[in-house]
Amino acid sequence: MMQENQPKKLTKKDIKERVVGGWRAFARFFKEFKWDKAHVSVLIKYAVEILLFAFIITFDLCMKDFLYEFVEVKNGGNITVIDGFLDLTYSENTGMGFGLGQDSTLGITIMTAILIVAILGYLIFFKKEKAYIRIPLIMVAAGGIGNLVDRTQLGYVRDFFEFTFMDFAIFNIADVFVTVGAIVLILGLIITLVFPSKDKRIPDDEEESGDVQGEQGETAREESMQAETASEEGAREESDVYVTRPAEEGTEGAERASFTVEVTREDKKPFTISEVKEDGTDESEGE
């Protein structure tokens, strides 16, 4: 029982299969896209993640431009925000986040670009991961791109926030998103390892197909049932109607009679009443 609850280790073959299957499902989703509930719900999920990704990058770059103008140009590079706690201090960082790895812009730029591509690929191909895995990865990738833009355009990263109550490196908004995203991601991975999912994983292409086609199948079944019901009702309306009514019993010597009402919609024939007596003779009356 303990071995069944342990998460399965991914091999190179498993990763390759998931990447290929994820890419096929991703391409098939847009190729077969329809404006129905199943497809739109998945599209909304992608749209929310893309908007979050774009917001982080835009917010970081806009704040860097604003703070540079406000702190460096107008106030000489330093402003006290909360005395003894927080200052806005302009700094040009040629290393990694929080001032680590100074004077290695080229190497850090290459590593950052590779990491961002890997994260984006993971988000595309492993799209069935939980939100507490995907959202932190989006934060890390978006923050990394914010700093990558500075490195490629300026040769350094603009930092502004400085805690004055402790000896800590100056940082920027992108560093905050990267750090918070990394912490949440680590916590999410710990949760996944401690409380592994009991559900068996299936390939992403099959899951995608099931998600998109599940509700379509239900809708198709409902439409099929409605069509069959309508067909049966139409057939009953177009065909003749026969009503048989036995005579009351209990009267001694009374004749047993059977009445048959025939109605034809197309020919509009009058109905015929047939009386069958006990002796077998048949008397019919009609208009």
Q: Which of 270, 267, 272, 268 is nearest to 283 (CA)?
A: 272
DSSP string, 21-71: HHHHHHHHHHHT--SSHHHHHHHHHHHHHHHHHHHHHHHHHHHHHHHIIII
Give the residue with greater pLDDT, 146 vs 280. 146
DSSP string, 184-217: HHHHHHHHHHHS---SPP--HHHHHHHHHHHHHH
At 223-237, the pLDDT tens digits run 666 666 666 555 555
Query: Of the given ranges (26-30, 143-147, 250-254), which has the lowest mean pLDDT?
Result: 250-254
At 74-114, the pLDDT tens digits run 999 999 999 999 999 999 988 765 555 555 667 788 888 89
Q: What tokens appear for 19 in the block? A: 């990447």
pLDDT at 187: 92
Q: What tokens appear for 282 in the block? A: 């048949």
Q: What tokens appear for 1 in the block? A: 């029982």
The one catalytic residue in 60, 175, 204, 205 is 175
The one catalytic residue in 159, 205, 240, 279 is 159
Query: If you compute the radius of gyration of the chain from its CA atoms, what whole number of angstroms results?
Result: 37
pLDDT at 46: 85
pLDDT at 256: 47
Q: Is 159 a catalytic residue?
A: yes
DSSP string, 81-111: EETTTEEEEEEEE-SSGGG-STT-HHHHHHH
SS3 (DSSP) at 285: strand
Give the residue with greater pLDDT, 193 vs 139. 139
Q: Is 60 a catalytic residue?
A: no
* pTM for this entry: 0.59
Whether pLDDT at 167 is above 70: yes
- Across-strand partners of 159? 91
pLDDT at 236: 52
pLDDT at 208: 47
Q: Please give the Cα distance from 116 to 103 (Å, whole number).
A: 21
Q: Please give the Cα distance from 242 to 239 (Å, whole number).
A: 10
- Percentage of the chain lying above the pLDDT 90 cut: 32
pLDDT at 235: 53
Q: Which of 133, 94, 126, 96 is nearest to 111 (CA)?
A: 96
What does each C-alpha distance from 25 to 72, 130, 216 come to in angstroms?
49, 18, 17
Half-sphere exposure at residue 47, Cβ-oriented, CA atoms within 13 angstroms: 6
DSSP state of 171: B
Whether pLDDT at 257 is above 50: no
Q: What is the mean pLDDT of residues 197-204?
A: 50
Q: How many other CB atoms sit within 10 Å of the CB of residue 80?
A: 13
What does each C-alpha distance from 249 to 197, 242, 255 come to in angstroms?
71, 22, 9
Give the residue with greater pLDDT, 2 vs 66. 66
Query: Of the given ranges (145-154, 161-170, 239-248), which has the lowest mean pLDDT?
Result: 239-248
Q: Please give the Cα distance from 236 to 166 (Å, whole number).
A: 87
Q: Are 172 and 227 in contact (CB under 8 A)?
A: no
pLDDT at 130: 83
Confidence of residue 253 (pLDDT cuts 50, 70, 90): very low
Q: What is the mean pLDDT of residues 43-60?
A: 92
